[in-house]
Amino acid sequence: MFERVGANFSEWFSGALDLAEFAKGSTVSLAVTGLSRAGKTVFMTSLVHNLLSALHQPYRMPFLKVVGEGRLAAARLAVAKSDGLARFPYRRNIARMAASPANWPARTTDISEIEVDIRFVPAGPLGAMLRWIGSGPATLKLKIIDYPGEWLLDLPLLDQSYADWSRATLQLSKSGMRAGTARDFLAFLADHRHAEPASEEDARRAHELYLQHLRAARDEHGLNFLQPGRFLDPGPLGENSYMWFAPLDIPDNLERIADGTLAAVMERRFEAYKTEVVTPFYSQHFRNYSRQVVLVDVLGALLAGREVFEDTRNAIDAIMESFRYGHSGIISRLLQSARIEKVLFAATKADHVPEVQRDHLAALLRNMVAIPALDVSSSNAMFDVAALASVISTEEDTQEIDGHRVQVVVGKPVGSSTRAKFFVGNVPARPPRPEAWGKPFLNIPVFEPPVIDVSPIDGIPHINLDLALEYLIGDQLR
């Protein structure tokens, strides 16, 4: 009798007010970004698939504590909202990866989101107390947003004038590999000085040539530090007249750009771009993403040679500015009271590197990002670095090369009928010295995804995806 009354009371109490939901339920926005070819779309797809599969196959995500400790009650896709961002095409992507012949999903060009509801049993003293009074599981609404990392390259523009930006950009365009891809653009600038009368046709032509240069630099050489970022990935902006600008050859001693000149038109559009494109992205979207993961193809940058590596480092430097609000720079003004709490820099495609060298991949990225191994007292966002593979598409093997038995990875290149072994060479833990750089190797194989079940039952094999997720949202699942 007494037990029954107690049980009824407990049931009534937990039903009347879901205390666990009240105390531990929350919404977290996790933004996934990175430079092109870093693997954002695959990361998102694998993350969602593995979360949905975690209840059936917990051993795929053992280091995500809510899974490892058996506290996960359910994970399911939330219904898409009509007023939100475009929905991330998870089902289409997983179908493509699971198809035969398999292929990788199309690359990210725009911002999109997907929401996963994770129901979990709270841990810790509060969780124990909630369980004690018979409260049910809590729900974490995990919003995962995918946006091109190139958009973050635009933050430094907010602090620059058009003349300063033009000078810096042209100096960069005339050096190294860029000089080749920018040849037509530079020839155009030689014929069209900044002080010539404004012409819509010339402005448009300059923009098109500059855009061609940026595309060639990205696609042919794998360069990343290409500003403005929206030129290559305009997202929902499409073709807007205020984006038709390009850097011009502005003399160092010029104090003010004269009205009615080509430079004045470009300057006006540059300022409009900052006001209409860059600032709104930070104030409307970026400030809401309290947890972010920045994916970097460190291996690609390393193998592509010194210039690409240095260029990637510059791009990461520019991206880092978006998370360094501790020194009250421009990002503090844009974010106002909002704070990016945690940022994970992840070196992707770790499955292309034999296991013995994977730690070097993360160490190399840490050196590129230039953050201490254990930052605990910074007023900026919390940073960490990891090496991961969203999908393991290779197996470990050995191969004899020049009389030496070396570690290689083996996979099936997309479009090929036979497997190939990939020897990655030595992955250093620190950026190589100038004399240690070898010949650029741009032919990194693209291996087919492994055999994957399209149903969220068995998950997708990965490297360190669970550790990354634990770092990013683990505290919300306690």
What residues between 349 and 408 interact with other proteins by CB under 8 A? 359, 362-363, 366, 372-377, 384-386, 392-395, 399, 401-404, 406, 408
Q: Which stretch binds other proteins (CB under 8 A): 52-60, 78-86, 181-189, 239-247?
A: 52-60
Per CB under 8 A, the list member of 420, 437, 446, 478 interacting with other proteins is: 420
Under DSSP, the state recorded for 401 is E
Q: How far apart are CA 257 and CA 271, in angstroms?
A: 13
Q: Report how far Cα 47 is from the mean position of its chain's Cα atoms.
A: 13
460 binds other proteins, rule: CB under 8 A:
yes
Query: Scanning residues 287 to 316, which ones bind other proteins (CB under 8 A)?
Result: 303
CB of 308 to other proteins, least distance (A): 14
Query: Scanning residues 187 to 206, which ones bind other proteins (CB under 8 A)?
Result: none
DSSP-assigned beta bridge partners for residue 139:
119
60 binds other proteins, rule: CB under 8 A:
yes
**Rounded alpha-carbon distances, angstroms, from residue 216 to 111, 182, 220, 420, 457:** 23, 9, 5, 29, 42
Q: How far apart are CA 87 and CA 436, in angstroms?
A: 45
Omega into 125 within 30° of 0, i.e. cis?
no
Q: List the one residue out of 358, 363, 328 whose CA is nearest residue 345.
A: 363
Query: Scanning residues 111 to 150, which ones bind other proteins (CB under 8 A)?
Result: 125, 128, 132
Q: How far apart are CA 394 and CA 424, in angstroms?
A: 13
434 binds other proteins, rule: CB under 8 A:
no
CB of 423 to other proteins, least distance (A): 5
Q: How far apart are CA 94 and CA 106, in angstroms?
A: 11
Pair 30, 82: CB distance under 8 Å: no
CB of 149 to other proteins, least distance (A): 23
Q: Which is closer to other proteins, CB of 217 or CB of 452?
A: 452
Lookup: tokens for 402 = 């020049």
CB of 402 to other proteins, least distance (A): 4
Q: List the one residue out of 236, 58, 251 whose CA is nearest residue 151.
A: 236
22 binds other proteins, rule: CB under 8 A:
no
At a CB cut-off of 8 Å and minimum separation 6, what does 386 contact?
344, 345, 346, 347, 362, 464, 467, 468, 471
Pair 170, 249: CB distance under 8 Å: yes
Per CB under 8 A, the list member of 1, 16, 59, 191 interacting with other proteins is: 59
CB of 306 to other proteins, least distance (A): 15
Question: Hey, which bits of 257-368 come out as E strands?
Answer: 291-296, 342-347
Q: Which is closer to other proteins, CB of 207 or CB of 412?
A: 412
Q: How far apart are CA 313 and CA 166, in angstroms?
A: 21
Q: Which is closer to other proteins, CB of 193 or CB of 421?
A: 421
Side-chain half-sphere of 450: how many Cα atoms within 13 Å?
Answer: 15
15 binds other proteins, rule: CB under 8 A:
no
Query: Scanning residues 205 to 244, which ones bind other proteins (CB under 8 A)?
Result: none
Per CB under 8 A, the list member of 73, 86, 102, 446 interacting with other proteins is: 102
CB of 469 to other proteins, least distance (A): 13
7 binds other proteins, rule: CB under 8 A:
yes
Tell how strand 26-34 and strand 138-146 pair up.
Answer: parallel
Per CB under 8 A, the list member of 17, 356, 370, 429 interacting with other proteins is: 429
Q: Which stretch binds other proteins (CB under 8 A): 108-116, 189-197, 240-248, 415-423?
A: 415-423
Q: How far apart are CA 115 and CA 30, in angstroms?
A: 10
CB of 395 to other proteins, least distance (A): 6
Q: Which is closer to other proteins, CB of 25 or CB of 459?
A: 459
Q: Which is closer to other proteins, CB of 26 or CB of 399?
A: 399
Residue for token pair 């098109």: 208
* Distance spanning both ends of the chain, measured CA to CA: 36
Query: Scanning residues 329 to 348, which ones bind other proteins (CB under 8 A)?
Result: none
253 binds other proteins, rule: CB under 8 A:
no
Q: Which is closer to other proteins, CB of 236 or CB of 403?
A: 403
Per CB under 8 A, the list member of 300, 390, 447, 476 interacting with other proteins is: 447
Q: How far apart are CA 96 and CA 68, in angstroms?
A: 29
